[in-house]
Structures are given as structure tokens and as C-alpha cells.
């Protein structure tokens, strides 16, 4: 079957063009020396310079990074604990199905419903405690909520691929529960934890819908800033900002892919 | 693993077990596991499961004069949903729900049609080139949806070649743009979800047994027959995952239609966003969310049923991810 198939190749290239045309367009306009309109007026990097002088954008970038870092740390710990607690214990098959349902909930439920449900939860919790006033705290809590499941699913698949031999060997050698956890289980599932954490971090950086429903005026993230700018009227700075965001997400993907694929 | 039952030790009492090489009791194991899994489970229950149920209850409340929530059981929102308002019956909301299903369906079909040639092309490249193609496929998976949607605004703008060509052909007025409209929306949708379809599909295409395709050719199978009998059965697992992760979120999409579409391309996601952000009518927004959840569950159910019908397998709909 490895013959030349021009039609297949043509459609494949067309698909790639569809996926890349937007990014390329943004990158091209980010170096275009024109404030209004889209006509080409020559090459410039001044929009990138303006980017670093705009305090709103810098604030949004800081917010995005704080949000992604804090929520990733919290969700990686919680998600790993959940995976170990659920899949290394003698729960009945019925309970297992129930746990699976809860864990798969954020994967199946559409983003917008999760966003609305979280907004509702914060509204109710606000009556009890004022830290749930809309802002950075609600953003972090909402991100952790959807990240936990993804971390758990990744760590779980790692746990399942390990088998029980090493655990039994450790116990035969009189490892205590804590020693066994610290020196056997944790090192073995570390790749899963790192992969889950990276997934959680990227999901947080990329998220728009859940942040949109749960952010306050002081806790604008980069995707929200771009959305607001689109509604207000796009300036060339936004092209520069978007290009930076596109490149920053592409770099780790390329590195991870080069490291994991063994060709 | 886990619940397949650890061997009991005779004469050590009924609850004494050897679990992963450790001599212990069921209660100690459960307590220890609960100490780990308890907090995150509580978190997910309190912030996700309970609010989703609350959303269902809120659909039966109503909006007060100033946007506050009036907690008094009423079916007014459900009636509004199926079109009964104080001004008589109008199918507007039903129409938007039907359109959400339709747009999701068209997006999914277009993505499948593009993803098969794309993944076949990648799978038949020499290994070194394949890595580059794969990286090219993964990067758009993480491209922010807001950036991609507004980028289409730039491309479809009046001064850009696509709009100028369309104007020359007389499809649109001179100096008009190609947005808002269905074309812009579908371009936005397909470019957003093509990686979602292509990545799981590629996982299946990569493992295709090409000899079966050659055998089908040797037996003079038509192209259609080769696809249906030799390609489809082998790629079903990836295709199923791709369809789910494309269809469900595209039904709930609001960013693409919000930026690239007008009132005529409104989806249920846009309607929900309006109720929560602008109209401050949370109960009606909750009713719409419940309707969307119902549509999601229905499509997943149809899917599971279709899948049991065919020769797919696996225990969970996410089987393809593991």
C-alpha cells in the first residue's frame, strides 16, 4: 500500500493548512508595521516591545503563570493520592464503578457546564466564607477541579502497567508501609506523576471557558485578555501576544515529542 | 487490578489478607486508602458532582425582577425551553438546540473526512519524516481556541485574498468580509477539532495491518469495499474516541460561534453564556445547561449502543486513551 497517492496527500496538506493558517496569519500580522487595517506596511518588532510595556498584559501573564503553577501543584498531589487510594485498595467492584464515574465526570461533562456548575458552587460557598469571592482563589479552585481527573487517569494507567511484583518483593524484604510508599511506589510512578502534572499545567494555561466564568476583574488571564481585546477591537499588540503564546505552547511539545519518540 | 480479591490466609480470621505482599486486614487497608483518596474525592464531589445536581434543581427556580434567584418550584423555564413564553409559542430555543446537534454532526463528519487521509498520509511516511508530521499534528491540539477563532477573523477579513476572490465571483458584496456566517463558523470548528479527531485515529491507523488491505486489493475489492471491510474495522477504536472527543465539545462550543458567527449561527453554548453573563437569568441558564447535559448523555448513549452493535470492545468509552 506504500504507493504514491496524490489525492490523499493533497487532502492531508489541506488539513494541515486549515490547522496552521490561523497561527501563521497571527504571526505575520504581529510583525506588520500598521496600526489599523491588515495591509502589509513592512516588517517591525515594535509590537513585541509594546507588549512588555503594557502592564495589563504583564499582569495577565503573571496571573496565568501563578494560576497554572499553584493549581498544577495542588492537583498533582490530589490526583496522585486519588489514583493510589483508589486503584491500590480492595474496594468492591460497585464502588470502583462509582469512583470511575466521578473521575470521568470532568472528561465527559462539557467545559461550559462545568464552568457554570463551578460558578454556582462558588455562589453558594460565598455565603459561608468570603474567600470564595470571585478572583484568584476561585480560579485556582476551579482549575484544580478539572485537573485532578486528568492527573488521576495518567497516574492510574502508570500504576496498572507496573504490576505487583516489586511491591511484594519490597514487603518480603520487610519494608514498612511508609518506606514502601516513599522508596518503591513513588519512584516507580514518578514518570506518570510528571506526565500528569505537565498535562495539568498545559490544560490550565490553555483554558478559557472555565476561567471566563470564574474570574474577577483583578484576575484576568491571558486567554481572557485576548478574548476581551477581540470584543473591544484588536490592536497589533494582541497579534504579538498571541504569537508569543503560540510559540510558548509549541516549544514544550516539540521537546517532549523529541524525547519520547525513539526514532 | 485492585478488586480481584486477595488470597485469604486460612486460620488467620476472615478479614486478614495478604495485599501486595503485606500481611494486613481489610479495614486497615481501606482506612489507609481512604486517607489518600478521601480529600480529592470530597473535592470532586463538593465542587463538581453536587453543583451539577444543583444545576438540575436550579432549572426549576425562576429569575426575580433584579436578576436574583427565586427559589420556588416552577416549570416556567422548562416551558420556555420548549418555546412557551408569555407571548405565545416560538420554536427559537428548540431551533438553537437542533442547530447545536447539526453543527456538531457536520463538524464531526468533516473532521472524519479530513482525518482519514491525513492520518494515512502520516502513517505511510518514512519513520524520520513521520516524527515531524506528528509534531505538526500535536501542536494545533494545544493552540488556544480564542486565538484560533480570532485569527480566522483576520484571514476572512475584507482586505484578504479569500474575501476578494469571493467578491470577484459575486458571492459576497465588494468590500464585505466572509464572517459572520456558517462558512466562518465551520472553518473555525473544523480547524479546532481536526487534531482531536486525527490524534486518536492515528493511534489506530499506525497499527493497521497493511497486508489485509493488499489482500482486499488482490481480491478486486472496490475502493468503497476496501475501506468498509479492511480499513474501518481496523481503525474503529481510534475513530470512536475521535468522534466522542469531537462531537461532545463541538455541541457545547461557544467561543468559535461567539467570535465568528452571528445571531444566525447561535448555539446552545452561546445561549448559556448569555444567561449567565448578560441576562443574569441563572435559572434559565441552568435549564439550558441541563438540556445540553441531556443532549450529551443521549449522544454518548447512542454511541455506546452503536458500538455494542458493531465489533468494538473495551470496558469504558475512554478505552482508547490508555
Q: Is B303 exposed, middle or buried (0-12, 13-18, 19+ CB in 10 A)?
A: middle
Q: What is the pLDDT of residue A3?
A: 59
Q: What is the pLDDT of residue A46?
A: 83
Of A67-71, A250-254, B198-202, least confident by mean pLDDT is A250-254
Most confidently predicted of A179-183, B96-100, B127-131, B158-162: B96-100
Q: Is B298 exposed, middle or buried (0-12, 13-18, 19+ CB in 10 A)?
A: exposed
What's the mean per-residue pLDDT of chain B? Answer: 82
Q: What is the pLDDT of residue A173?
A: 87
> Higher pLDDT residue, A34 or B99?
B99
Rounded mean pLDDT of B139-144? 88
Q: What is the pLDDT of residue B262?
A: 75
For chain A, what are the domain ranges? 44-260
B49 contact partners, CB below 8 Å, separation of at least 6: A102, A105
Q: What is the pLDDT of residues B13-49, one digit of tens each?
A: 556 777 777 777 878 888 888 888 889 999 998 998 8
CATH superfamily to which B85-321 belongs: MetI-like (1.10.3720.10)
Output the pTM of the full model. 0.85
The answer to whether A108 and A100 have CB atoms below 8 angstroms apart is no
| Contact list, B296 vs chain A (CB under 8 Å) | 108-110, 113
What does the alpha-carbon distance between residue A185 and residue A194 come to, in Å, rounded to a whole number? 14
- Taking each helix axis as running N to C, give the angle between helix B92-123 and helix B232-251, from 0 to 180 degrees, rounded to the nearest 10: 140
Of A221-225, B160-164, B309-313, least confident by mean pLDDT is B309-313
With CA atoms as reference, report the closest residue to B272 among B35, B27, B14, B55. Answer: B55
The dotted CATH code for A44-260 is 1.10.3720.10
Show contacts of A175-182: CB within 8 Å, 24+ apart: A177/B22, A177/B32, A180/B22
Mutate to test the interface with B, among A116, A148, A189, A241 (most CBs of B within 10 A): A116
**pLDDT reading at A74 higher than 90:** yes
Mutate to test the interface with B, among A8, A64, A85 (most CBs of B within 10 A): A85
Q: What is the pLDDT of residues A93-124, one digit of tens each?
A: 888 888 888 888 888 888 999 999 999 899 88
Quick one: DSSP state of residue B138?
A: H
What does the alpha-carbon distance between residue A131 and residue A201 come to, in Å, rounded to a whole number? 24
A159 contact partners, CB below 8 Å, separation of at least 6: A83, A84, A87, A88, A189, A192, B1
Of A34-48, A55-69, A225-239, B191-205, least confident by mean pLDDT is A34-48
Residue B287: φ, ψ to 5°: -60, -40
B309 pLDDT band, cuts 50/70/90, is: low
Of A42-51, A137-146, A238-247, least confident by mean pLDDT is A42-51
Where in chain B do CATH 1.10.3720.10 domains reside? Answer: 85-321
B79 pLDDT band, cuts 50/70/90, is: confident
Please give the full DSSP string across A135-161, using - where no structure is assigned. THHHHHHHHHHHHHHHHHHHHHHHHHH
Q: What is the pLDDT of residues B197-251, one digit of tens each?
A: 999 999 888 888 888 888 888 888 888 888 888 888 888 888 988 998 899 999 9
Q: What is the pLDDT of residue B6?
A: 53
What ipTM does this complex have? 0.86
What does the alpha-carbon distance between residue A116 and residue A100 come to, in Å, rounded to a whole number? 23
B172 contact partners, CB below 8 Å, separation of at least 6: B163, B166, B178
Q: What is the pLDDT of residue A82?
A: 92
Q: What is the pLDDT of residues B263-278, one digit of tens each?
A: 778 889 998 988 888 8
**pLDDT reading at A157 higher than 80:** yes
For chain A, state the CA radius of gyration: 23
Q: What is the pLDDT of residue B234?
A: 87
B312 pLDDT band, cuts 50/70/90, is: very low
Query: Which chain B residue's Cα is nearest to A95?
Result: B3
Q: What is the pLDDT of residue A1?
A: 47
What does the alpha-carbon distance between residue B50 and residue B55 come to, in Å, rounded to a whole number? 9
What does the alpha-carbon distance between residue A190 and residue A149 come to, in Å, rounded to a whole number? 17
What does the alpha-carbon distance between residue B93 and residue B272 come to, in Å, rounded to a whole number? 11
Q: Select the residue of A16, A96, A149 nearest B2 (Cβ to Cβ).
A: A96
A36 pLDDT band, cuts 50/70/90, is: low
Query: Which chain B residue's Cα is nearest to A20?
Result: B140
Q: Select the residue of B19, B45, B115 nearest A102 (Cβ to Cβ).
A: B45
Q: What is the pLDDT of residue B308?
A: 62
Burial string for A159-190 (b: 16+ CB within 10 Å, else e) reads beeeeeebbeebbeeebeeeebbeebbeeebe
B111 pLDDT band, cuts 50/70/90, is: very high
Amino acid at each position: 500500500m506504500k504507493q504514491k497517492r496524490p489525492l490523499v496527500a493533497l487532502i492531508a496538506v489541506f488539513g494541515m493548512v486549515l490547522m496552521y493558517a490561523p497561527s501563521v496569519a497571527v504571526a505575520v500580522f504581529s510583525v506588520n508595521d500598521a496600526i489599523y487595517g491588515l495591509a502589509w506596511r513592512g516588517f517591525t518588532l515594535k509590537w513585541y516591545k509594546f507588549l512588555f510595556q503594557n502592564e495589563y498584559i504583564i499582569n495577565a501573564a503573571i496571573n496565568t503563570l501563578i494560576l497554572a503553577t499553584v493549581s498544577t501543584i495542588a492537583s498533582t498531589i490530589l490526583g496522585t493520592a486519588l489514583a493510589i487510594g483508589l486503584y491500590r485498595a480492595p474496594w468492591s467492584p460497585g464502588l470502583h464503578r462509582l469512583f470511575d464515574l466521578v473521575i470521568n465526570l470532568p472528561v465527559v461533562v462539557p467545559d461550559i457546564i462545568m464552568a457554570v456548575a463551578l460558578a454556582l458552587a462558588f455562589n453558594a460557598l460565598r455565603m459561608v466564607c468570603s474567600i470564595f469571592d470571585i478572583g484568584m482563589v476561585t480560579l485556582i479552585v476551579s482549575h484544580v477541579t478539572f485537573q485532578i481527573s486528568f492527573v488521576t487517569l495518567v497516574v492510574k494507567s502508570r500504576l496498572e502497567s507496573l504490576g505487583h511484583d516489586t511491591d511484594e518483593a519490597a514487603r518480603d524484604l520487610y519494608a514498612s508501609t511508609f518506606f514502601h510508599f516513599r522508596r518503591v511506589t513513588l519512584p516507580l510512578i514518578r514518570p506518570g506523576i510528571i506526565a500528569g502534572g505537565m498535562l495539568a499545567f498545559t490544560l490550565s494555561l490553555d483554558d478559557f471557558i472555565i476561567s471566563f466564568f470564574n474570574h474577577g476583574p483583578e484576575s484576568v488571564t491571558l486567554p481572557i485578555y485576548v478574548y476581551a481585546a477581540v470584543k473591544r477591537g484588536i490592536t497589533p499588540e494582541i497579534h504579538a501576544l498571541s504569537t508569543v503564546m503560540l510559540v510558548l505552547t509549541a516549544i514544550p511539545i516539540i521537546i517532549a515529542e523529541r524525547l519520547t519518540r525513539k526514532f | 487490578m485492585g478488586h480481584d480479591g486477595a488470597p485469604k490466609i486460612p486460620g488467620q480470621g476472615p478479614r486478614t489478607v495478604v495485599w501486595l505482599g503485606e500481611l494486613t486486614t481489610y479495614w486497615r487497608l481501606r482506612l489507609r486508602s481512604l486517607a489518600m483518596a478521601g480529600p480529592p474525592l470530597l473535592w470532586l464531589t463538593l465542587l463538581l458532582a453536587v453543583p451539577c445536581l444543583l444545576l438540575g434543581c436550579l432549572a426549576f427556580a425562576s429569575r426575580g425582577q433584579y436578576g436574583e434567584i427565586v427559589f420556588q418550584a416552577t416549570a416556567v423555564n422548562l416551558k420556555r425551553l420548549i418555546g412557551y413564553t408569555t407571548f405565545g409559542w416560538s420554536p427559537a430555543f428548540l431551533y438553537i438546540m437542533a442547530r447545536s446537534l447539526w453543527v456538531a454532526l457536520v463538524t464531526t463528519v468533516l473532521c472524519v473526512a479530513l482525518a482519514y487521509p491525513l492520518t494515512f498520509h502520516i502513517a505511510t511516511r518514512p519513520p524520520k519524516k513521520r516524527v515531524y508530521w506528528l509534531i505538526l499534528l500535536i501542536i494545533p491540539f494545544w493552540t488556544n481556541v480564542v486565538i484560533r477563532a480570532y485569527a480566522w477573523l483576520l484571514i476572512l477579513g475584507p482586505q484578504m485574498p479569500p474575501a476578494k476572490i469571493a467578491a470577484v465571483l459575486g458571492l459576497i458584496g465588494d468590500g464585505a468580509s466572509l464572517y459572520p456566517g456558517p462558512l466562518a463558523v465551520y472553518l473555525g470548528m473544523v480547524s479546532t477539532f481536526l487534531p482531536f479527531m486525527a490524534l486518536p485515529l492515528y493511534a489506530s491507523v499506525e497499527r493497521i495491518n497493511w497486508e489485509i488491505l493488499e489482500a482486499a486489493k488482490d481480491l478486486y475489492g472496490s475502493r468503497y469495499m476496501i475501506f468498509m471491510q479492511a480499513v474501518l474495522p481496523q481503525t474503529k477504536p481510534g475513530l470512536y474516541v475521535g468522534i466522542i472527543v469531537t462531537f461532545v465539545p463541538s455541541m457545547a462550543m461557544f467561543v468559535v460561534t461567539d467570535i465568528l458567527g452571528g445571531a444566525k449561527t447561535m448555539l446552545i453554548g452561546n445561549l448559556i453564556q448569555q444567561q449567565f453573563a448578560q441576562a443574569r437569568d441563572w435559572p434559565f441558564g441552568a435549564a439550558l445547561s441541563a438540556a445540553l447535559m441531556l443532549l450529551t448523555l443521549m449522544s454518548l448513549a447512542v454511541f455506546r449502543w452503536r458500538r455494542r452493535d458493531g465489533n468494538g470492545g473495551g470496558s469504558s468509552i475512554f478505552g482508547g486513551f490508555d
